[in-house]
Structure 1
């Protein structure tokens, strides 16, 4: 098994496992149908870089989802894909827009969401 295969397997079996770190969210690609997938959600206030140091970005959060069509998304449409998840753990789900792709590898997408 290649290292890239290990990344995808670790993402699915460990990080995106709801018995470990992940929770269920609803992902709706632009023009597509909503589906429930697992995501690792970072709800903390995000600190901007560089000249905006000292400020915090509210109304944003980060998620990690699988980089595959079955259990995540094979492609991302910034500004068009919608994610429904709770703003606080245990709260009701609200809609967020995928604002940016922060990172990607063979296993996961790292996405910035905005309310």
Structure 2
């Protein structure tokens, strides 16, 4: 088994496991069909980049989703894809737009989403 294959399996079975860290969200690609996937949602207030020190970003969250056709998505359309999940745990789902790709590897997308 290659390291890349192991990373992908670890992401799906551990990190993106709904019984561990993840929760269900609805991901709708631009001009696509919505599907329920698991994601790790970071709801804390984000710190801006160094040039904006002192400001706080309040209408944004970070999410981690699988880089996989079955368990997640294999391509991202910034500004077009929508992810639905509650702003607060236990609340009603709202739509968040994928604003940026913060990172990506063989197993996981790290995305910035905003209301």
- Answer yes or no: same fold by TM over 0.5: yes
Q: Which residue number corresponds to residue 24 of structure 2?
A: 24
* Unpaired segments ≥5 residues, structure 2: none
5 Å matches for 1:88-99?
88-99=88-99
RMSD, aligned α-carbons:
0.5
Aligned-pair distance for 1:78?
Answer: 0.2
TM-score (norm: length of structure 1):
0.99
Deviation at 1:2, TM superposition (A): 1.1
Runs of at least 5 residues in structure 1 that lack an aligned partner in the other structure: none
Name the CA distance, whole Å, in 1 between partners of 2:69 and 2:58. 30
SS in 1 for 2:80: coil
Shift of 1:49: 1.5
Runs of 4+ that moved beyond 6 A: none
**How many residues are treated as equivalent by the alignment?**
115
Q: What is aligned with 1:9? A: 9
* In 2, Cα distance between equivalents of 1:78 and 1:114: 11
Q: Distance in 2 between matches of 1:68 and 1:31?
A: 19
Q: How does 1:36-115 map to 2 (within 5 A)?
A: 36-115=36-115
